[in-house]
Amino acid sequence: MTQRSPVETRTVEEGEDGMRLDRWFRSHFADLPHNRLEKLLRTGQIRVDGGRAKASTRLAAGQAIRVPPLPTAAPTSAPTPKALSKADRAFLASITLYEDDDLLVLNKPPGIAVQGGTKTTHHLDRLLEGLGDSPKTRPRLVHRLDRDTSGVLVVAKRREVAAKLGRAFQTRSVRKIYWALTNGVPKPPQGKVDAALVKAGGPEGDRVRKARPGEQEVAQSAVTYYAVVDRAGQTVAWLSLKPVTGRQHQLRAHMAIIGHPILGDEKYHGDRDLPEGIENKLHLHARRISFPHPSGEGVVDVTAPLPDHMRQSFAAFGFAERDEADAGAGAL
């Protein structure tokens, strides 16, 4: 049987400086479903220093968080991490690109969710829970990728490491390069897409669109640099993408906005008129990430190999996978 907790105010600790608000709640209230958290945020029941906040709000040490009444389990039913099977451990090992005492960098396969939802029970975050003894010691996601996007995903092994990396992502000292195949070839071959985004309402579901005049209060600024690395006539382009901001579906929406949706993207019409023989899967890959190591020593620089369906498409179009494409995007 559950009871309601009282309203309380909690202070953000030093080790939580830079942490996202949703991850702070996951750390302190592991049983709170994400959809319930989003509702509490939308209705203003959760406050940070007295003001409304979003799931993506970055916290600062010393801030006060208003925690509304929450359903709490009986004291004897504290959650324990679900032990990983041998198959789960083997899977995590197979997708690990880099590991040290502070970090894991994974090569996320397409089709697997990063975090759970109402109908999603198999996801990377659940597997990470099994690597810790409690919600406080479990590894933590530092950022996210869409379910159908593949590539580099950074995981912090401890809360204080997650906080440091959160600050790095917030200050944009993290360099991210994505590869994509698009329908048609953008002109000019190098450019910048600066288009604020808002969530699309109605039957479109989990999508975003370009903000319209008068929507400044709900719009999120979004900036992406792109460069055409190679092309197959005027049919398909291989792009190197560098997001300056990190909005939901940013790259997918920005490519659709300029008239060149990413191949296989069913949310933004990239699944229409696919070239013959090309698999109808999202052709978007987080190719490379680099950032200062949270220890203060050196730089982490990790590259993820292409997933099978993109490798097959590269071969079909005669594109040769090469590292100079990363360097070219970084120069934008």
Asked if residues 286 and 240 have their Cβ atoms less than 8 Å apart, the reply is no
Reported as a single tens digit per residue, the pLDDT across 81-130 is 567 788 888 999 999 999 999 999 999 999 998 876 555 557 788 888 87
Rounded to an integer, what distance in angstroms lies between the CA atom of residue 197 and that of residue 222?
7
Side chain identity at residue 213, one-letter code: P
Reported as a single tens digit per residue, the pLDDT across 280-316 is 999 999 999 999 999 999 999 999 999 999 999 999 9
**In terms of domains, do 38 and 142 share one?**
no
Rounded to an integer, what distance in angstroms lies between the CA atom of residue 310 and that of residue 239?
13
Integer-rounded Cα Rg, in Å, for the chain is 21
The residue assigned the tokens 């959160």 is 166
CATH of the domain at 62: 3.10.290.10
**In terms of domains, do 68 and 132 share one?**
no
Strand partners, 289: 176, 302
146 carries an active-site annotation: yes
Last residue of a domain, one of 51, 77, 103: 77
**In terms of domains, do 59 and 127 share one?**
no
Asked if residues 210 and 224 have their Cβ atoms less than 8 Å apart, the reply is no
The secondary structure element, H or E, covering residue 67 is: strand 64-67
**In terms of domains, do 27 and 120 share one?**
no
How many domains, in total, are found in the chain? Answer: 3
209 occurs within a structural domain: no
Rounded to an integer, what distance in angstroms lies between the CA atom of residue 256 and that of residue 203?
18
Task: Give 233's contacts (C-beta < 8 A, 6+ positions apart).
Answer: none
Rounded to an integer, what distance in angstroms lies between the CA atom of residue 73 and that of residue 41?
22
Angstrom CA distances, 250 to 146, 247, 253, 289, stand at 10, 5, 5, 17
299 occurs within a structural domain: yes
Side chain identity at residue 196, one-letter code: A
pTM for the model stands at 0.78
Reported as a single tens digit per residue, the pLDDT across 186-234 is 999 999 999 999 988 665 557 899 999 988 888 889 999 999 999 999 9
Active-site residue, from 22, 146, 265, 326 = 146
